[in-house]
A and B are shown apart, each in its own frame.
Chain A
Amino acid sequence: MLTLEKRPQPSKFWTYMTPLVAVIVTMIAGGMLFAALGKNPFTAIGTIFWEPLFGEFSFYYRPQLLVKGGPLILIAIGLSLGFRAGIWNIGAEGQYIIGAICGAAVGLAFYPAESWIIFPLMVIAGALGGLLWAMIPALLKVRFGTNEILVSLMLVYVAEQLLASMSLGLLKNPEGFGFPGSRNFQQYASGHNAELITGSGMHWGVVAAFIAVIFAYILLNRHILGFHIRLTGQAPRAARFAGVNPKLLVVFCLGASGALAGLAGLFEVSGPSGQISIDFNSGYGFTAIIVAFLGRLHPVGILLAGLLMALTYIGGEIAQSNLGLPAAAIQVFQGMLLFFLLAIDMLTNYRIKLTNRRVA
């Protein structure tokens, strides 16, 4: 008979091993899935994980790693703060959209003026947009005790409708021959989030992601607020006795994750994506949830997890064009990763024991 025994404290070994084991198990299960779809599993897994890094066209794909990883890391860092304290912002996708809309609106308002100040203003507007959108669930939770999970998620659908409205109405390119979508920032130097080093994929969003990682690390390890966040997550009662203000935590965690998601949206719209369009958002806000967990809610872990998840996006696209692997298969693959991670995570807190259970 297999039983679980709670460990006196979480296992250090499994804390680090869980993500690795989960990735390997996901590769095996994913391989079986790809085989079931009639593809050679070894080629498919190889295409996803090897091709973008060391394949023939890796010079093109490697920069993409930063382009796709940047927003994922930026959003996941914010989410992880709340997740640690049991504050569940799952509407990052909405905050990402609103950040992009606000930032783009500021940039487009200045068009065609050229000045160095425009881009910083757009960045501030993007962060503020995401922050304000996240303040809706935060303030409702603080004031009325409304469930932040449901409110933040509902706001994703509201934001998607706003995005459609903006790209068809207010922000539509007046010289766009009636097509939906805003002016393209790639043709507007002052508002363009260009690559900092040509061919590296490094843009301001990636820089912001790295800064966020460092700040989150310092916050969680060296600052009283970070200590309160961790304490609330691990022992809510103890936190209350220690004088933690739960309302402040809700506002801070949701606000920080909203602002970071908004920033990610702004950097995306002014850089890689270029314009506000109906299908501008691509699910980064939801994938970032997987990234946060895969990184064990730890800043450095999230950095690595974000790059890995970016790899599956890029590899998935290659597999799509080379092997005809459906896009949805990659989505399933990413979902499986979270599944296995949560399942294997049990070993961190419990040990499996073989016992002879006698009937009393």
Chain B
Amino acid sequence: MDLSSISPVLLLASLMVAATPILIAALGELVVERAGVLNLGIEGMMITGAICGFAVAVETGSPLLGFIAAAIGGALLSLLFVLLTQFALANQVASGLALTLFGLGLSALLGQKYVGVKPPPIAKLHIPVLSDIPFFGPVLFSHDIVVYLGLALVVAVWYMLKYTRAGLILRGVGENHDAAHALGYKVIRVRIMAITFGGACAGVGGAYISLIRVPQWTEGMTAGAGWIALALVVFASWKAGRVMLGAYLFGGVTVLQLNLQAAGVSIPVEYLSMSPYVITIIVLVIMSADKSRAPASLGRIFHATQ
């Protein structure tokens, strides 16, 4: 065992990379849940985004196009969820599970010829002065653009929900859809937009795993990241800022256990690998005492009788 082989700079830098996919996916789900919809299909949308992004990036050679394709792929899959829950009025828990099972199969099918292929690399930003600061430079200012996109998304979602009219309507729909409907807001339309946004976010998050974090394609590679993103939303009591905190905490645990594995700690690899999931459960337990913050209409079916 050699703990000195773990470099704090690299650890913190890779923490930001490890946190990004679940951060983006969780932000998408946050918006969806704030609109009163519980989409348990994040895992399915993430893995679909992962393969869509991977395939397009490999075929075109452009990671950027890959991310766009991932967003479209995730959004398209979420439209299936829209069909089930908003038009066919199906149970949201069951529909979300269906989305995950379907997405896992679909991605495996799409990804067959991409196993073992290397994706085009994405450039890391080099900001003239900031990136050269010792310690903070490599930790904070020399990542790929998506890491910063994720951070920008935190601010955007927070601002949108808190200070804009659109955010107010969205929250209104999520808190009491009957009242929002009575006031003349289009409950279904708002929810469709929220779900599609959530799908696109999950897709981008998934593509980040396959294009940057790993980077290669293997079946079922998201390995529960979508479910952890769901847990993050609960952990964050449906607040954007806290989602970021949670994502970094989780990213930290993931990176630390990987580093400990590499350093050859005497704890068996399997027990280190299960630690992120165990810690997610522990955090969920601690946070679930406060249920008051959940949107009041979360998971309820809306059907307007004329």
Contact = CB atoms under 8 A, between A and B. Distances in A.
A156 B220 CA distance: 14
Given A157-B224, A158-B278, A332-B105, 13 more contacts: A150-B284, A157-B277, A165-B271, A328-B105, A328-B106, A328-B108, A334-B101, A335-B102, A338-B98, A339-B98, A339-B102, A349-B89, A357-B306
A144 B288 contact: yes
Interface string B93-110: 111011001111110110
Interface stretch (A51-59, A126-134, A182-190, A285-293): A285-293
Contact of A338 (B102, B270, B273, B277): B102
Q: Which of A144, A157, A330, A350 has the most CB of B within 10 A?
A: A157
B46 to A, nearest CB: 14
Contacts of A169: 268
B274 A289 contact: no
Q: Which of B268, B277, B291 has the most CB of A within 10 A?
A: B277
B104 to A, nearest CB: 7
A162 B224 contact: no
A347 B284 CA distance: 37
Q: Which of B228, B273, B281, B306 has the most CB of A within 10 A?
A: B281
Interface residues of B, number: 47
A6 B291 CA distance: 31
Contact of A150 (B227, B270, B271): B227
Interface of B: 40, 80, 83-84, 88-91, 93-95, 97-98, 101-106, 108-109, 112, 219, 223-224, 227-228, 230-231, 234, 268, 270-271, 273-274, 277-278, 280-281, 284-285, 288-289, 291, 303, 305-306
B88 A345 contact: yes
Contacts of B40: 149
A169 B268 CA distance: 10
A161 B289 contact: no
Nearest to A345: B90
Given A155-B281, A332-B106, A342 B91 contact: yes
B102 A4 contact: no
Given A326-B109, A349-B89, A6 B305 contact: yes
3 tightest A-B CB contacts, nearest first: A331-B105, A335-B102, A328-B108
A318 interface: no
Contacts of B219: 328
Contacts of B284: 146-147, 150-151
Q: What band does the interface of chain A fall in when counting residues whose beta carbon is under 8 Å from B?
A: 35 or more
Given A289-B101, A335-B106, A161 B83 contact: no
Given A289-B97, A345-B90, A154 B281 contact: yes
Contacts of A83: 94
Chain B contact residues, majority secondary structure: helix
Given A158-B278, A342-B88, A153 B227 contact: yes
Contacts of A165: 268, 270-271
Contacts of B306: 3, 357
Given A145-B291, A342-B90, A335 B95 contact: no
22 contacts: A147-B284, A149-B40, A149-B93, A153-B224, A154-B228, A154-B231, A154-B277, A161-B270, A161-B271, A161-B273, A161-B274, A162-B274, A328-B106, A328-B108, A329-B109, A331-B108, A336-B102, A338-B97, A338-B101, A342-B91, A343-B90, A344-B88
B281 A350 contact: no
Given A157-B224, A331-B105, A350 B89 contact: yes
Chain A contact residues, majority secondary structure: helix
A156 B97 CA distance: 15
B231 A335 contact: no
A90 B88 contact: no
Nearest to A165: B270
Contacts of A168: 270
A165 B106 CA distance: 30
A150 B282 CA distance: 11
B286 to A, nearest CB: 8
B227 A326 contact: no
A313 interface: no
A154 B105 contact: no
A346 interface: yes
A164 interface: yes
A88 interface: yes
Nearest to B284: A146
B88 A346 contact: yes
Given A4-B303, A144-B288, A331-B104, A326 B94 contact: no
A160 to B, nearest CB: 8
Contact of B101 (A290, A326, A327, A357): A290
A345 B303 CA distance: 15
Q: Which of B88, B104, B268, B270 has the most CB of A within 10 A?
A: B270
Contacts of B278: 154, 158
A273 B228 CA distance: 31
A350 B90 CA distance: 11
A150 B106 contact: no
A140 interface: yes
A72 to B, nearest CB: 14
B102 A144 contact: no
Nearest to B278: A158
Nearest to B95: A342
Contacts of B90: 342-343, 345-346
Contacts of B104: 331, 335
A332 B224 contact: no
Q: Which of B223, B271, B273, B274 has the most CB of A within 10 A?
A: B274
A6 B98 CA distance: 24
Nearest to A167: B270
A168 B268 CA distance: 10
Nearest to B305: A6
A35 B228 CA distance: 36
Nearest to B290: A145
Nearest to B43: A153
A177 to B, nearest CB: 21
